Structure 1
Amino acid sequence: MAESTVLVVGGAGFIGTNLVRYWLDEHPRDRVISLTSPRHRKHAHDSAVNVECELDNPVRIREVLSEHDVDTVINCGGWSDNARAVRDPLGCFRANVADCVNVLEACRTSGVRRYHQVSSAEVYGDIDDRATADVDESAAQRPFTPYSSTKAAADHLALAYGRTYRFDVTITLSSNNYGPAQLPEKLIPRFVIRALLGQQLPIFDSPGSSREWLHVKDHCRAIDHILAHGTPGQRYNVGSGESADAHQIADLILDYLGLPTALKTLVPSRPVLLRRTGVDSGKLRTEVGWRPEKHFATALKETIEWYVDNRTWWLPHVDLVGAR
């Protein structure tokens, strides 16, 4: 008999598929339900109970929660592509705010007692002008893109639901995730795939811009630790403490694949581009006992190898590798 029934919203997305795989490995007695859009069903994990459901259908979400007697919901759903959000801010609002409310409402009306929301450290905005090197959870949130604004709004709604309707809510604010099975709308898989195709690697002309990088498995471990030991009503920063800019990442990828650095090319920067991201994960480390296990240089090589070995997985998405 299952010890717990965990439903992963967005279970066929990048973080969702990795989380489902992690949970099945680490908690074999739990029952894992993967809630996914029919459009993304092909990426779902075969060992989970895969349920197709659009997040704009709160009645169906509630039916799924009740039918499977779900006690824990982990919401990995929504958009994560800044460029897409800039092109379609209304679509981003629907996916990241309205759909989140649909999930929260389904949790409220079906009696789910534990809810975790996967969010982004981009809600803090650009930290380049902050007084300290990295930001902790007490820092003011200053989102200034459609994407980060919708993530901040959804986080406030989740915490409000927890306080108002008395169920346990926690949130992870993570730095940039990377790892296997990430679509090439993101920088690392886009660079790897373009390099494997012999194409140039477009780098925004924005000197001094850097990101903190977190392996997706370390994020999954953080969620697991928080659900077991975290405090309801709290937000937890999740970061590795390892940062790199696009030039450094391109150099690492090209060097590993034995390709010339001449494949790097500068392109005009986006109108709104964060210069630097980085979070202080001290609260997570102290309160929950989590530590990152993946080191960027080594884990990046493992990630490159995954794309080398899984060409059939990314070839259908090769249209996403274009420079934007």
Structure 2
Amino acid sequence: MFKKILITGGAGFIGSNYAHYCTEHHPQSELVVLDNLTYAGNLDNIQSLIDSGKVRFAQGDISDADFIAELFEKERFSAVVNFAAETHVDRSIVEPSIFLETNVAGTHNLLKSAREFGVERYHQVSTDEVYGDLGDDSTNYFTEETSIAPNCPYAASKASADLFVRSYNETYRMAVTISRCSNNYGPYQFPEKLIPFFFQLAEQGKELPLYGDGKNVRDWLYVEDHCSAIDTILHNGKAGEVYNIGGNNEKQNIEIAQLILSFLGRPTTLIRYVEDRKAHDRRYAIDASKMKRDFAWEPTVTFEEGIKKTFDWYKANQEWWMKVIEKHNIDESRKHIAEPRSAKAQAARLIDLSPSPAN
């Protein structure tokens, strides 16, 4: 067990789910969430944890090296789990420099301070997109030995970050691990991503814009399963290792659209085919056998169970996603760009890092 864990990007989708997971499974660990609260970070995702004193929250940018060093020197973290990243592929195509700044330089800042201030374990949350494209071959899967071959700026930035993480193990013998996951879905996902994006459009009776022929294949992983896998690696993984995390749920994008329309009782005529995205990889599929072999870990939530849980959550939390949509003016093009990066200079350095109440 780690005494104090830093969760970067902990107000975002997967990071906030992991914060909730940790408060339940590691109540004795002190948790600090760091997030810049730009566009995908949402304090509502963890407000209940802050209010209850289960986590403390810092607002700041991982690409601000001085801020990161100051935070690490003050807090002396035992472990770091890095979820902080720009993740939307469409955004990376339009403005790739933001992805370089956050995903690469930001990761290096975390590594540098983790090494300097004696962090026991650093875990990097990555993506299967660093491996590239499997094409139409339904028999091939990404393994941990698959060569890195990113095809879009987002994937390239994550691959670069992974290489920096690896280098800190090889060069400085720092205890680091990397996980590469397939597509996640579940509560608190920002509505620009495929499943929540299509859900909120279908709920409003609007058309669902589907790239290309809609037959691009992704493997889907319920976010709670992802959190349990990350936690397993953090506490039991071998330093320097990469671990693939998959859901064993391959679906074509057209299947996802049809499923959402069916669930909401909407006609399939709402599907609108649009020009394909640049560098749109055809198929991703994860071989997660290493997780099973090393830790006896397997996903516990089937796609059918997970998608029902997700839809039920959307139904019960309409106010949450409508507020996000209205705040960020997410339109049907899925190409809305975040506020200019200059807004970072105005971000608060810290919100609350006072000692949390005793549990």
Pick the TM interval, shorter chain: over 0.9
Report percent identity of matched pairs: 36
Q: Alignment RMSD, CA only?
A: 1.6
Asked if the contact 1:44–1:50 (Cα under 8 Å) also holds between the matched residues in 2, the reply is no
Aligned position for 1:32: 31
Shift of 1:178: 0.8
Aligned position for 1:21: 20
Shift of 1:295: 0.7
Shift of 1:109: 1.3
Residues 143/130 of structure 1: CA separation in 2 closer, same or farther (3 Å cut): farther
Aligned position for 2:228: 221
Shift of 1:298: 1.6
Residues 131/199 of structure 1: CA separation in 2 closer, same or farther (3 Å cut): closer
Q: Secondary structure of 2:27's match? A: coil
- The alignment of Structure 1 onto Structure 2 pairs a total of residues equal to 323
Asked if the contact 1:250–1:264 (Cα under 8 Å) also holds between the matched residues in 2, the reply is yes
Q: Secondary structure of 1:180's match? A: coil
**Which amino acid is 2:28 matched to?**
R
Shift of 1:13: 0.9
Aligned position for 2:333: 323
Shift of 1:3: 5.3
Which one of 169, 180, 202 corresponds to residue 162 of structure 1? 169
2-structure distance, mates of 1:308, 1:275: 31
Q: Deviations over 1:185-215 (max 9, x none)?
A: 1100001111111111111123531100011
1-structure distance, mates of 2:312, 2:28: 31
The answer to whether 1:256 aligns with 2:263 is: yes
Which one of 295, 320, 331 corresponds to residue 288 of structure 1? 295
2-structure distance, mates of 1:153, 1:78: 13
Q: Secondary structure of 1:139's match? A: coil
Shift of 1:84: 0.3
2-structure distance, mates of 1:249, 1:150: 27
2-structure distance, mates of 1:292, 1:203: 28
Aligned position for 1:59: 66
Shift of 1:146: 0.5
2-structure distance, mates of 1:184, 1:286: 35
Residues 316/72 of structure 1: CA separation in 2 closer, same or farther (3 Å cut): same
Q: Secondary structure of 2:19's match? A: helix
2-structure distance, mates of 1:42, 1:116: 23
Aligned position for 1:94: 101
> Greater CA deviation, 274-283 or 199-208?
199-208
Asked if the contact 2:12–2:42 (Cα under 8 Å) also holds between the matched residues in 1, the reply is no
Structure scoring higher RCO (CA < 8 A, sep ≥ 6) equals 2
Asked if the contact 1:191–1:250 (Cα under 8 Å) also holds between the matched residues in 2, the reply is yes
Which one of 298, 305, 312 corresponds to residue 298 of structure 1? 305
**Which amino acid is 2:29 matched to?**
D
How is 1:25-174 mapped onto 2 (pairs within 5 angstroms)?
25-39=24-38, 40=41, 42-45=43-46, 46=50, 47-128=54-135, 132-174=139-181
**Which amino acid is 1:10 matched to?**
G
- Structure 1 stretches lacking a partner, 5+ long: none
1-structure distance, mates of 2:256, 2:236: 34
Shift of 1:132: 4.5
Q: Secondary structure of 2:177's match? A: strand
Asked if the contact 1:59–1:106 (Cα under 8 Å) also holds between the matched residues in 2, the reply is no
Residues 255/44 of structure 1: CA separation in 2 closer, same or farther (3 Å cut): closer
Asked if the contact 1:92–1:146 (Cα under 8 Å) also holds between the matched residues in 2, the reply is yes
Asked if the contact 1:155–1:171 (Cα under 8 Å) also holds between the matched residues in 2, the reply is yes
Asked if the contact 1:176–1:214 (Cα under 8 Å) also holds between the matched residues in 2, the reply is yes
Q: Secondary structure of 2:330's match? A: helix
TM-score (structure 2 length as normaliser): 0.86
TM-score (structure 1 length as normaliser): 0.95
Residues 38/299 of structure 1: CA separation in 2 closer, same or farther (3 Å cut): closer
- Structure 2 stretches lacking a partner, 5+ long: 335-359
Shift of 1:167: 1.7
